[in-house]
Structure 1
Amino acid sequence: MRQVGVWRSLWLRKSKYPQDTVYSMMHLLGVEIEVDYNRSREDLIAEVVRKTSTSFPSWLDIMEHGAPRELRQRLFPTIPTLDVQQTPIFTLEKQPVPVEEYILTQTYMKIFNIKILIPAAASSDNSDLVCTEIFEIQNNRANEPLVVNGYGEACHWNLSNADSTHVMLMGAEDFIIPTNAFIQHLAAYEIKKSKSGAWECFPGHGGVPKEFVGKTRRSHMRIGGSPGSKITECDCADGG
């Protein structure tokens, strides 16, 4: 949970020097970067992403599902605008909106089933190469959306984008403050091909039952980047 908290705090931090928002927290993620104020904050964040993605990609768990995303063809959330000692903001319809309105506060991802093999920050075509279980979206006789696993088992799915064709498994969530309630489902994102032919993702409120997973062969795919990427089954046991 600490790593998730560090990433969320990075999106909220303000400083006289934008680079210090990264330098002040990088050690909490086990990252060392030589201090250089000629580099931009965005470049430094990209380096932290490259150095942490294969082990525990906590940056996937910063924002609410309804948060603004400049590019659907990438998993990394939008980096907020930061002026000197001012509250970080997003600009929506030409109006400033505090980032804190979109930061997740109730839950955190305690287990990532998805593995980021190559993040967009390290790829040649700005795509994220991922490994996870991917389920096809189908409709039953009542025209209700279902997702189907490798055993042919189906479960109901709350479709958030009418054009989505598949669902990719993300991981297991838990409450930040312990309660008597339990999260019964594993988080998953919808994906579809864009008009350009690249895969794009749509974080939503859907999930799949825990007993539904582990029955589908894992696959590799690229989110964003060049068109024509295919979902390819792999032999990875845990995304490695």
Structure 2
Amino acid sequence: MRQTIALMIVGLSLLAACSTGPSDAERTLEAQRDSLATQIVDVRSTATVEADRLLMTAEFAQTAAAQVRTQNQVLSATIAALGGDAALVAPRASTPTLPAVIDPAAPVTPAPGGETLAATPSPAPPNLYNAVTARGVGANDCALATVSQFTTADVSIYVVATASNIQPGMTLASRWFYEGQEVIRHTFKPDFAINQNCIWFFIDPEETPFNPGSWTVQLELNGQPVGEPVAFSISG
């Protein structure tokens, strides 16, 4: 009997010991709970710090804006007191610039036949150029050779030039000078257009004595000198 009671006491003691201590599963759950609680505290702390920073930034911006407004008011009052225009320091709202809008549906009219339209060049004015003296001219009315020294034995002396854009009715002329004095003048009024062709005048001893010395011939167009006088000489 005593042995049975002793065994029962020992068994109850073991059961009591088992029931009073926490199990492994309970310890694991408690550890996870403590870890989550710590993480929650950390998250709340971080969120609080960020919120405080944002609040400080907003307060700083408001304070700066208020200071700028106060400075503008003081400056405006000072300028007004000095007789100036306070509107010059008044804040002005910026006006946005809108880009030009091109209507893609607007029709574009091409040149007829797909040709490129070019500006019509202005016609060149009439002119006489490349004037030279010579002993004769060829079938194309141009000088056979340029000559600037003649003799009293020559039978003729020509002045030849290239004519451009000469219209019918214009007056061409040559004025011949000996030692600076005009000795003869010839004129020509064509009844046809002349363009990039040679024209010529000449003198001979029968109408003008070929006196030895310095000579020049000046071409004219409608009474106005054209180019520089062409110089030549005659020797005895």
Aligning the two structures, in what range does the TM-score lie when normalised by the shorter sequence?
Answer: under 0.3
The structure having more radius of gyration, on CA atoms, is 2
Q: Tell me the TM-score normalized by structure 2.
A: 0.20
Higher helix share: 2
Higher strand share: 1
Q: Tell me the TM-score normalized by structure 1.
A: 0.19
